[in-house]
Structure 1
Amino acid sequence: MTDLTNAGETTSAFASRSRVRLAIPFGLIEPLFAALDCAIIVAAGAIGGIAYQRALGGSAEDASFYAGLGLVASLAYVLVAHFLGLYRLNRLLDDERDGGRVWAGWCLAALVLAVVLFLFKSGGDTSRGSVVCFFAIGGAGLLVARRLGKRGLRSALVAGTIRGRRAVVIGTQGELAQFSKAGLLARLGLHEVDRITLPRDEVTKFNPSGAKQRDDALMKRIREASAEEIVLAVSWAGPQDIEALLERLRVIPLPVRLLPDRAVSTVLRHQTSIQQRLYMVEVQPAPLSTFDRLTKRLLDIVVAATSLALLTPPLILAALAIKLESKGPVIFQQRRNGFNGKPFVIYKLRSMRVQEDGGSVVQATKEDPRVTRVGRLLRQTSIDELPQLFNVLQGHMSIVGPRPHALVHDYEYGAMIANYAFRHHVKPGITGWAQVHGYRGATPQLELMKQRVNLDLWYIDNWSLILDIHIMFRTAFELIRPRNAY
């Protein structure tokens, strides 16, 4: 699929100075400029009111009132500036002077402020001289801050102190040539962590010999890059090539976006009214949105922390029973594949006399002689799974998700069951949709594992916070009738 060679490495000052101790996320640039404008306007309101009153020999007691006027004006200005495109990244990064737009936005904000004063009948209590001073100071401050801010932003880009979304860029050599590392950051807000060049201009026309090995190497390289998204730079003229590439990338639970090819870029160079960041086309969304992952993570932390606080006494008693019955550690540790196929160490209370890991792991069976007496009780009640609450707090697992299997079983079932790898599109869980449907414990027949995988994939495709809560409640009832748990 790919020769996994780096191409198009930039030798610009941007690349040579990219290692810094502190980096500002690219997505914060626009909010920071808006916040700076707000602060300038509020300060201008207070300073204008104080300066005019002091000039007339008055007091500065009304400074808070004029700062409040500045707050109203700042909100109005930010909204107007947004619609005028003053916070668009391509406008912030170019050398074009936009003082006219700044003054236009400031005048409209002043008009909004006048309307607000009229509606609240506060015009008579407001010094006209203070408002004029406020308007003059605010306008001048916005212009100066705009010029200095844009200059500082360009310097930060050169110094490498702006951090974009971590992205792996994959494409053909001809298409990749038009995107430098610095250009991807400045134009699209992407921090290129790896660049992978496909072997030919035609993505699918290559010798299929060794394709699986190349695919595995590609997936490993993407995972090791710890990217937040994948970006494709291929010709739009071959949709079948794009589909073939997407089919290979489906096992990676990251959004995939398509960059404009050379033909489309030629047209887009004449378009300046839209943010260049919007030119990318999302061809594969992430399994869960950022908001979904945040809400799921918050639920995990609350449930895991609360459960640990309530279940610490049973955990201590179980640990003592394990220690008294047989030799060995209380906590059993085993490597499992987690989100995006990245391995982690899972924690369980030891329920067997053996501690299998690596290339030989045999699933427990009914009346398994390896299971201790205490261990059999722990497994039937699922108390042995409670240490995985620490895995949840560490971020390796979720309360609800596909159950993780031993590494050797992942390799075996991955080769026999289609779409098995899609289970890693979300974090593994302590319980899951398959478990509350009775698919708990060992799966001696391949057909049972296929049914479990189908239920896991249904959960991923239909995830919601309500579904997670529903599964948690159903899990409590499933523990009362320990089916297939031994």
Structure 2
Amino acid sequence: MINTTLPPAADNVSSVLESEIESVAPPHRARGGLPYSIISTLFALVDSAIIVGSGVAAGAAYQLAFTGSPQDIEVYAGLGLVACVTYALGGYHLGIYRLHHLLQRHRDYTRVLTSWCFAVLALTVVLFLFKVGAEVSRGSVLGLALLGGVSLIGWRRTATRGLHSAVVGGVIRGRRALLIGTPDELARLTRRDLLVSFGAEEIERVTLSATPAGSGAPTISASRHPEIDRAFERSRAVPLDEVLLAMPWSDGDGLDLVRQSSRMSPLPVRLLPDRAVSAVLGNDDATARQSFTVEIQRAPLSALERAAKRLMDVGVATAFSVILAPLMLVIAAAVRADSPGPIIFRQRRKGFNGREFVVFKFRTMTVLEDGTSIAQARRRDPRVTRLGRLLRRTSIDELPQLFNVLRGEMSIVGPRPHAVAHDDEYGKIIANYAFRHHVKPGMTGWAQVHGYRGETAQLHLMEKRVALDLWYINNWTIALDCRIIFRTIFELLRRPNAY
């Protein structure tokens, strides 16, 4: 059975910090605070400011002591810039900006001093190679080395204490994750371990019952397939960024079952190192453990790509809504005059991540079907109104979906959404059909510009449409969207397949 209760506390707590997190930080806290991903950037920016400031301060102090007035301060600011660049390069190589290293105070100081010595050495080499050593006093360089080193250690000590409190208090948030796994593997993963080692914040965990094997780790049998499906369905009800798997790597059959079920979710799915792999890597080596995560399924679009696509959708939908507003008003009046019934036809469709939404269309039929069985429109379909035939042939009946785009339920370009009844039907008989829900549905798509519009009376036609939709998802670019929009205009001028 599936257990969606809160995670149990670890039996052996490896540090005071970890026990504090387990007892203080609530699993379902508010989403305020700092994202895990920007912690290293913030530390790097502050370090850079300290180094440049140390260069200016050291140069100004030297000038005041020996000449009575600060001169050529910009030169010393430039020295600080050179030093901070080399410090950052060395620091990233040594990992001084990784969260788990930031929480290891004494070992982190060693890395900081090593990076700073490398920066000072690099600065000295630069001064020698460019023959500007005579223009820069050795005293100011020595002052920069001493002041910068002391300042970096002092800031790091203060910041580490603050970071420790932030992690304990739940101020730092990671990627929202659904944790799925077997009892043994889940029992050893604490909230602190997930955040520090993998940058993830556990929103909920789902325990899969495993069958004890004759030897070795328990395995998940094929009879648990519905259980795994229900686990992935949880990703639709909870706002998440990824799915993490805590399962024995030796359970090949169980991993195959999970891989099949993951198709219904557009979220990235990662397999965490299991107990055996972690023992080889070392439980304290968070860097090695993070590098050994296995990507079971990648997200179809990155956050930047989703933002670019959404920006394009809003811009295009807004422009077309304004330009075509007079036409839509005329069509609305014509629909009302042509036959009794509402102007706008509403029907449930499945969108991104399989979530249902209501699609808008100009009514073109005398029926308003939205049940478990819906018949596709066919040539000379008696349900289609006189005006409806023209609207469907030219796809003008789809124009109200511009408002679905503005509402964020659809995109201008994407796989065409099907009625819920048809989704349920084809999802059972066409392999990889669920992958269509990995992006938002569109008003037009790659399949439509290749002639696959309207009725799909034969199964192979729907299979071809699905194949084109999947190609689009795997090869998406902004340029491809623009190409599809222009091709759609010409496709509508050809003999349509929509009745």
Q: Could you tell me the TM-score, scaled by structure 2's length?
A: 0.87
Distance (whole Å) between structure 2 residues aligned to residue 327 and residue 23 of structure 1: 54
Q: Is 1:204 the counterpart of 2:220 in the alignment?
A: yes
The count of corresponding residues between Structure 1 and Structure 2 is 482
Between the aligned residues of both structures, percent identity stands at 52
Distance (whole Å) between structure 1 residues aligned to residue 359 and residue 68 of structure 2: 71
Report Cα offsets for 1:25-72 as digits up to 9, x if no partner. 111121121111111112222222333333446444643443233222
How many angstroms does 1:402 deviate by?
1.1
Q: Match for residue 418 of structure 1? A: 431
Q: Is 1:219 the counterpart of 2:219 in the alignment?
A: no
Q: Report the residue type matching 2:159 in the other structure.
A: G
Give the conservation status (yes or no) of the 8 Å contact 1:164–1:190.
Answer: yes
Q: 1:66 to 1:358 in 2, by over 3 A?
A: farther
Q: Match for residue 41 of structure 1? A: 51
Unmatched runs of 5 consecutive residues or more in structure 1: none
Give the conservation status (yes or no) of the 8 Å contact 1:44–1:137.
Answer: yes
Name the SS of the counterpart of 2:346 in structure 1.
strand
Give the conservation status (yes or no) of the 8 Å contact 2:263–2:434.
Answer: no
Q: Report the residue type matching 1:14 in the other structure.
A: I
Q: Is 1:69 the counterpart of 2:76 in the alignment?
A: no
Q: Match for residue 141 of structure 1? A: 151
Report Cα offsets for 1:66-119 as digits up to 9, x if no partner. 323322221121011111221233211224343333222222212333343445
Q: Match for residue 130 of structure 1? A: 140
Q: Match for residue 379 of structure 2? A: 366
Q: 1:91 to 1:362 in 2, by over 3 A?
A: same
Distance (whole Å) between structure 1 residues aligned to residue 394 and residue 371 of structure 2: 27
Q: Match for residue 396 of structure 1? A: 409
Q: Report the residue type matching 1:250 in the other structure.
A: R
- The structure 2 residue matched to 1:102, chosen from 112, 118, 131, is 112
Name the SS of the counterpart of 2:493 in structure 1.
coil
Unmatched runs of 5 consecutive residues or more in structure 2: 11-18, 212-217
Distance (whole Å) between structure 1 residues aligned to residue 414 and residue 361 of structure 2: 17
Distance (whole Å) between structure 2 residues aligned to residue 316 and residue 66 of structure 1: 68
Q: Map of 1:107-118 to 2, 5 A cutoff?
A: 107-118=117-128
Q: Match for residue 17 of structure 1? A: 25
Q: Match for residue 442 of structure 1? A: 455
Q: Is 1:188 the counterpart of 2:198 in the alignment?
A: yes
Q: Match for residue 430 of structure 1? A: 443
Report Cα offsets for 1:399-438 as digits up to 9, x if no partner. 2221001112212222333332221122211111221122
Report Cα offsets for 1:282-340 as digits up to 9, x if no partner. 22323334454444444434443444454344334434444555565544333211111
Distance (whole Å) between structure 2 residues aligned to residue 89 and residue 21 of structure 1: 19
Distance (whole Å) between structure 1 residues aligned to residue 388 and residue 128 of structure 2: 77
Name the SS of the counterpart of 2:349 in structure 1.
strand
Q: Could you tell me the TM-score, scaled by structure 1's length?
A: 0.89
Deviates more, 1:53-62 or 1:21-30: 53-62
Distance (whole Å) between structure 2 residues aligned to residue 39 and residue 330 of structure 1: 62
Report Cα offsets for 1:365-412 as digits up to 9, x if no partner. 334444444433332222222332333343322222210011122122
Distance (whole Å) between structure 2 residues aligned to residue 439 and residue 401 of structure 1: 13
Name the SS of the counterpart of 2:106 in structure 1.
coil
Distance (whole Å) between structure 2 residues aligned to residue 192 and residue 231 of structure 1: 9
Q: Match for residue 166 of structure 2? A: 156
Give the conservation status (yes or no) of the 8 Å contact 2:8–2:187.
Answer: no
Distance (whole Å) between structure 1 residues aligned to residue 6 and residue 388 of structure 2: 55
Q: 1:61 to 1:372 in 2, by over 3 A?
A: farther
Give the conservation status (yes or no) of the 8 Å contact 2:35–2:172.
Answer: yes
Name the SS of the counterpart of 2:264 in structure 1.
coil
Name the SS of the counterpart of 1:192 in structure 2.
strand
- The structure 1 residue matched to 2:243, chosen from 215, 230, 233, is 230
Q: Is 1:332 the counterpart of 2:321 in the alignment?
A: no
Give the conservation status (yes or no) of the 8 Å contact 2:4–2:204.
Answer: no
Q: Match for residue 175 of structure 1? A: 185
Give the conservation status (yes or no) of the 8 Å contact 2:102–2:108.
Answer: no
Give the conservation status (yes or no) of the 8 Å contact 2:228–2:258.
Answer: no
Q: Match for residue 484 of structure 1? A: 497
Distance (whole Å) between structure 2 residues aligned to residue 124 and residue 347 of structure 1: 75
Q: Is 1:475 the counterpart of 2:459 in the alignment?
A: no
Give the conservation status (yes or no) of the 8 Å contact 2:222–2:257.
Answer: no
How many angstroms does 1:268 deviate by?
1.4
Q: Is 1:247 the counterpart of 2:275 in the alignment?
A: no
Distance (whole Å) between structure 1 residues aligned to residue 242 and residue 298 of structure 2: 10
Distance (whole Å) between structure 1 residues aligned to residue 20 and residue 318 of structure 2: 47
- The structure 2 residue matched to 1:79, chosen from 86, 89, 100, is 89
- The structure 1 residue matched to 2:299, chosen from 278, 281, 286, is 286
Q: 1:64 to 1:41 in 2, by over 3 A?
A: same
Q: Match for residue 454 of structure 1? A: 467
RMSD between aligned residues: 2.9
How many angstroms does 1:155 deviate by?
1.1
Distance (whole Å) between structure 1 residues aligned to residue 37 and residue 289 of structure 2: 14
How many angstroms does 1:156 deviate by?
0.9
Q: 1:245 to 1:382 in 2, by over 3 A?
A: same
Report Cα offsets for 1:227-249 as digits up to 9, x if no partner. 22221111122222222222222
Name the SS of the counterpart of 2:177 in structure 1.
strand
Distance (whole Å) between structure 2 residues aligned to residue 267 and residue 475 of structure 1: 55
Name the SS of the counterpart of 2:418 in structure 1.
coil
